[in-house]
Structure 1
Amino acid sequence: MNAKEVRLLVIDALKNKTDAGDRIYSPRDWPTTSEQYPAILVQTPIDVKNSLGRNVPQFTTVTTVRITGRLQEFDDEQEDNGAEKAEEALEQLREQVERAVINGYELTRKIQQFRQVRSTIDVDAGGEGHTAQLLMELDIEYYQGPEEFFEIESEPLEGFDARISMPDGTPEPLVKINLE
């Protein structure tokens, strides 16, 4: 397990479980357009390994998964309510993302715990409509052991010789092992 695998498991957990549908992007350049909304962007910007001791590479690793949700809402013709609609849509998206990731079976069975979940929402009326963004960070803890860091180099077994020494006067053993 590593940061890339965690990111891919989070993406799988999110697909078609939020208002963004299958518009889950990672990796991707960050600029998005209103035709893509709602959209979710996923990245793993922080990865911290805490050693479990000397001599063997064993770590409790915490990967921070950053989930950015973006959407846009417009004012109704009769009412100036775009910001309110955008904030409510973001709150709904935040709840959907939390549930999808925390209940993602493949992810939760491979990790130790969700150490922390942080989220912020922001609504901006600087454009044509009210652009809203959810920024959620999940600190996901898991174990990494020697198998993650060493490639096992081996040579194929081409044969095997075994000899059984018996005391003089003992009948020959009836053991035959053929590994070919």
Structure 2
Amino acid sequence: MNAANVRQLVVDSLKGKTSAGENVFSPRDFPTTRAMYPCLLVQTPFDHKHSQGRNTPAFTTITTVRISGRIQEYDGETDDDGALDAELALEALREQIDQAVVNSYELTRVIQQYREIRSTINVSADGEAHLGQLLYEIDIEYYQGPEDFYPVESVPLEGIDIRIQMPDGTPVPGANTNLQE
């Protein structure tokens, strides 16, 4: 298990389960177009490992998964309600993300806990429409042990040569074992 595995499990849990439908992208840079809205962008910007001791590579790892939700809403013909619609759509998207990620069996069976969830909503009217963005961050805790890291490079044991040190002039008992096939 690593940050990339966690990210992919989150992406899988979101696809088709929110108003973004299949518009869940990861990894992807930030430029998006009107045709893509609503959409979700998933990244893992932070990964923090806490050692479990000195003798083995074992860690309690916390990966922060950042989900950026984007929507676009226009004002109505009679009302200037685009900002309100954008805010409501982002609040609904936040609830959908909560349900999709926290209820994901595939994700919850391989992690220890959802340590913390933070979210912020921002609506801007800088363009012809109201652009809304949800920034949703979830800290996911899981175990990483020796099996998650590459094996230690070692020199293979080819044989054993055992000799008992004896005084000069006496036979030296011992054994040779060849381990090659």
TM-score by length of 2: 0.83
> Which structure 2 residues correspond to residues 67-86 of structure 1 after superposition, within 5 A?
67-86=67-86
How far the C-alpha of 1:151 sits from its partner, in A, is 2.9
How far the C-alpha of 1:153 sits from its partner, in A, is 8.1
Unaligned runs of 5+ in 2: 155-181
How far the C-alpha of 1:150 sits from its partner, in A, is 3.2
How far the C-alpha of 1:33 sits from its partner, in A, is 1.0
CA distance in 2, matches of 1:80, 1:87: 13
CA distance in 2, matches of 1:19, 1:40: 10
Which AA in structure 2 matches 1:133?
A: Q
2:134 paired with 1:134: yes
Which AA in structure 2 matches 1:151?
A: P
Q: Secondary structure of the equivalent of 2:20? A: coil
How far the C-alpha of 1:152 sits from its partner, in A, is 7.8
Which AA in structure 2 matches 1:107?
A: L
> Which structure 2 residues correspond to residues 67-146 of structure 1 after superposition, within 5 A?
67-146=67-146
CA distance in 2, matches of 1:139, 1:52: 19
The equivalent residue for 1:159 is: none
Q: Can you list the C-alpha shifts for 1:76-126, whole angstroms capped at 9, x where unaligned?
A: 101010000000000000000011000011000000000000000000000
CA distance in 1, matches of 2:7, 2:119: 17
Which AA in structure 1 matches 2:53?
A: G
CA distance in 1, matches of 2:106, 2:151: 25
CA distance in 2, matches of 1:151, 1:33: 44
CA distance in 2, matches of 1:15, 1:130: 25
TM-score by length of 1: 0.83
Which AA in structure 1 matches 2:122?
A: D
The equivalent residue for 1:53 is: 53
Which AA in structure 2 matches 1:23?
A: N
Corresponding pairs, count: 154
The RMSD of aligned alpha carbons is 1.3
Q: Can you list the C-alpha shifts for 1:19-45, whole angstroms capped at 9, x where unaligned?
A: 000000011121001110000000000
What is the identity percentage for the equivalent residue pairs of Structure 1 and Structure 2? 64
Q: Secondary structure of the equivalent of 1:72? A: strand
